[in-house]
């Protein structure tokens, strides 16, 4: 009963963020979808301008050559930007699950209960997974509703899959943040480390698309394995999602082992 209460308590504590992030991202997607009918017939006017952009700039926006298409519009205007934005949620929550309670002095009270350390990490990690899934599900519902509203209904299945594909890279970011907080023990230091790694990963992957000297390093970044809006045009690459979920499991496992072996600050 205690375990279930810990999971539900953590999830309940995150309910505001779940609703805020889910509906916020979903509303952003709805707005972008609503703008598409007004812009799709004008994209040819901007074709020459877009073609003049330097590759290092367009690398951050995705493939802009088919911006007038439904899939291209969503890729550039939504799927290229939402994962690094949602990483803010993942890092903030990931570093707060253990280090946040430890800094507040409540973690030792929790561990004084008849509960194993590894189960504390497992239950809190499960709550982070559930919260992330609920956020992307809320966003997916908003995206589908917006697409139906503007009459773009032929690719709803791929749109749903592309939105849900945001979850693996978000989970990997959050799991890394949790691992950093357990290993480094201080929330601010862990947050700074996670932000540098996650945001740096996004920048390195984006620049690696245009800068040849950086291309060999792209496979070492989290966002290299995020499919993005290409799911809309090319389908899902399950191997990439598998890599991110595998990294998520690895980061959670390291967090669990490290937490088992260290002392708790009072």
Residue 15 belongs to a domain: yes
| Rounded mean pLDDT, 101-111 | 70
Residue 238 belongs to a domain: yes
Residue 98 belongs to a domain: yes
Q: Is the dihedral of CA 147, 22, 138, 76 positive or negative?
A: positive
Collapsing DSSP states into helix, strand and coil, what is residue 99?
helix
pLDDT for position 1 = 45
pLDDT for position 195 = 94
Q: DSSP string covering 41-75, please?
A: TTGGGGHHHHHTS-HHHHTTT---TTTTSHHHHHI
Q: Confidence band (pLDDT; 50, 70, 90) for 53?
A: low
Q: Is the pLDDT of residue 206 over 80?
A: yes
| Rounded mean pLDDT, 46-63 | 62
The overall average pLDDT reported for the chain is 86
Collapsing DSSP states into helix, strand and coil, what is residue 93?
helix
Q: Confidence band (pLDDT; 50, 70, 90) for 266?
A: very low
Phi then psi for residue 252, to 5 deg, are -65, -40
H or E segment and range at residue 157: helix 156-164
Residue with tokens 């490290």: 258
pLDDT for position 164 = 95
Segments of 31-120 assigned E as strands: none
Tell me which of 4 and 85 has the higher pLDDT: 85
| Rounded mean pLDDT, 95-110 | 76
Q: Is the pLDDT of residue 262 over 70?
A: no
Residue 266 belongs to a domain: no
pLDDT for position 54 = 64
d(CA 47, CA 251): 43
Residue with tokens 């290229």: 80
Q: Confidence band (pLDDT; 50, 70, 90) for 73?
A: confident
Q: How many folded domains does the chain comprise? A: 1
Residue 37 belongs to a domain: yes
Range of the structural domain that residue 50 is part of: 2-261
- Contact (Cβ atoms closer than 8 angstroms) between residue 204 and residue 198: no
Quote the pTM value: 0.89
Reported as a single tens digit per residue, the pLDDT across 109-157 is: 666 676 788 888 899 999 999 999 999 999 999 999 999 999 988 889 9
Residue 84 belongs to a domain: yes
């Amino acid at each position: 009963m205690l375990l279930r209460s810990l999971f539900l308590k953590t999830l309940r504590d995150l309910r505001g963020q779940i609703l805020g992030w889910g509906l916020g991202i979903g509303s952003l997607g709805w707005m972008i979808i609503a703008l598409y009918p007004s812009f799709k017939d004008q994209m040819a006017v901007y074709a020459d301008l877009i073609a003049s952009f330097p590759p290092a700039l367009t690398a951050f926006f995705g493939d802009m050559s088919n911006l007038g298409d439904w899939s291209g519009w969503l890729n550039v205007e939504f799927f290229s930007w939402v994962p690094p934005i949602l990483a803010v949620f993942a890092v903030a929550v990931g570093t707060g699950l253990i280090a946040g309670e430890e800094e507040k002095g409540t973690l030792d009270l929790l561990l004084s209960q008849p509960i194993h350390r590894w189960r504390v990490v497992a239950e809190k990690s499960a709550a982070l997974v559930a919260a992330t899934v609920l956020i992307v599900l809320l966003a997916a519902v908003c995206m589908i509703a917006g697409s139906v509203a503007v009459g773009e209904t032929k690719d709803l299945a791929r749109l749903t899959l592309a939105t849900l594909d945001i979850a693996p890279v978000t989970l990997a970011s959050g799991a890394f943040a949790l691992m950093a907080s357990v290993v480094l023990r201080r929330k601010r230091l862990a947050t700074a480390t996670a932000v540098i790694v996650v945001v740096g990963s996004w920048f390195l992957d984006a620049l690696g698309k245009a800068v040849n000297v950086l291309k060999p390093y792209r496979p070492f970044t989290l966002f290299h394995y995020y499919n993005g809006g290409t799911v809309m045009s090319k389908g899902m690459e399950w191997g990439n999602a598998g890599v991110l979920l595998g990294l998520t499991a690895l980061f959670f496992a390291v967090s669990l082992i490290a937490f088992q072996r260290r002392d708790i600050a009072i």
